[in-house]
Amino acid sequence: MTITASNNFVNTMSTSYTSSAAENRESDDVLGRDAFLEMLVAQLQNQDPLNPMEGSEFSAQLAQFSQLEQLMNLNDTMLSMKDAFENSSSKDVTNYIGKEVVGDVDSMSVKNGTASQGYYTLPNPGEVRVEIYDSNDNIVKALYLGQRDPGSNPIQWDGTDGNGQLVPDGIYTYSVAADMGAGYEEVSTTVAGIVEGVVYSGDTAFLVVNGIWLNPDSLLQIKDVPEEASSIIGYLGKNVTSSSPLVHVDNGEVIGGRLSFELENSESVIVGIYDSSQNLIRTIGIPATGTTAGENLVEWDGLDNDGQMAGEGIYSYKVTTSTGYANVSLSDNVSGIKTVGGSQFLVFDISGRLASVSSITSVN
């Protein structure tokens, strides 16, 4: 009876193992756990019924198998760690820092109740609408931004839902549509600039470009920045050209308020001054008799359209003509670096105006 029960146990063990071994055996397992267990089962099946294996001997062999199993598991773990390390090394996002990139961005992060900026690009002026979604693609809030000018524009969200309640921290996606004269249609949400750093949300790494969090998987273009200009300090003492020079209002003083623009012919223009959220705060109309072909200058006194002094911060400007926009680019020597609102800007020597690194189009 004892022998029969033992043989039944061995047969059951053998059948169960044979089934699992067929599924799990690796081609390069020369003398691993599979071969070891096969030998042990064969030994039990073919032992002398009148002189069976001692219990202590059987226990010792099972202990050996247990040790082998642990070693094999440890080996698998080390291989997994090796693969993970190799994959993470080949995709080290810190390698993007200092490079100039273009990428699609359709998400904003909310941390401690504060939302990061979004971004979109308009080919023409239009009425803009933004819809924000949670991780389950449920709409959280719709933003109606009104009329916006062409070019890159930020999205400012206060982190609240449609009922005015703060949303939980996390990543939220968004879509942008604009009515540019033919009904609402989706517009591009690309962002371009130099990668300033890397931030993490959970297990996901994001590149910081112009204050925007950009997923490395969404990159459309990557290129190296010239070595001499790989950091903002590298611009000091160089003559650079900015496509969008900025004005700084500090303690009621307008720094760089002499706004320049170029015209091919004398014509009437409208100068629009915008805050950091791209809200139009002041318009200055200049008749054709007040302009000339070539370079023109207009002084901004720092007042908004209501006659109130603009708040401290960075301001940009655009000059509208009858055919589009005048060239407002500025070339000057960089005399310093100024930090405003946590961001660094180049300081132009003669004009006193500022420029972001992302707006630099040439370096001499």
Same domain for 213 and 272, yes or no, is no
Q: Where among 177, 206, 226 does a domain terminate?
A: 226
CA distance 15 to 33: 16
Same domain for 263 and 233, yes or no, is yes
Same domain for 220 and 242, yes or no, is no
Same domain for 191 and 251, yes or no, is no
Spatial contact of 110 and 172, defined as CB atoms under 8 Å apart: yes
Q: What is the pTM of this model?
A: 0.41
Per-residue pLDDT of the chain (364 residues; tens, 9 = 90+): 444 444 444 454 445 444 444 445 444 444 555 666 676 677 666 766 666 655 556 666 666 666 766 776 776 666 665 554 444 433 577 778 777 788 877 888 888 888 877 778 787 888 999 999 998 889 999 999 888 887 777 788 888 998 989 999 888 889 899 988 888 888 877 777 777 677 776 677 888 776 677 778 888 888 776 554 446 767 878 899 998 899 999 878 899 889 999 999 999 999 999 998 889 999 999 999 999 999 999 999 999 999 999 998 899 999 999 888 899 999 998 887 787 876 788 889 888 899 988 888 888 7
Same domain for 245 and 358, yes or no, is yes
Q: What angle do CA 156, 159, 165 make, to 5 degrees?
A: 140
Spatial contact of 152 and 121, defined as CB atoms under 8 Å apart: yes
H or E segment at 346?
Answer: strand 343-348
Q: Where among 90, 113, 131 does a domain terminate?
A: 90
Spatial contact of 288 and 295, defined as CB atoms under 8 Å apart: no
Same domain for 191 and 216, yes or no, is yes
The residue range of the domain holding 251 is: 228-363
Same domain for 248 and 330, yes or no, is yes
Same domain for 219 and 273, yes or no, is no
**Three-state DSSP class for residue 116:** coil
Same domain for 86 and 104, yes or no, is no
Same domain for 203 and 308, yes or no, is no
DSSP string, 101-159: EEEE--EEEEETTEEPPEEEEESS-EEEEEEEE-TTS-EEEEEEEEEE-SEEEEE---S
DSSP string, 187-226: -B-EEEEEEEEEEEETTEEEEEETTEEE-GGGEEEEEPPP
Domain containing residue 316: CATH number: 2.60.40.4070
CA distance 156 to 146: 13
Given this model, what pLDDT does residue 131 score? 92
Same domain for 188 and 106, yes or no, is yes
Name the domain count of the chain.
3
CA distance 316 to 205: 31
Same domain for 232 and 350, yes or no, is yes
Q: Which two tokens stand for residue 21?
A: 């071994």
Q: Where among 178, 206, 226 does a domain terminate?
A: 226
Spatial contact of 120 and 187, defined as CB atoms under 8 Å apart: yes
Given this model, what pLDDT does residue 229 score? 45
CA distance 129 to 190: 16
Q: Which two tokens stand for residue 228?
A: 């001499």
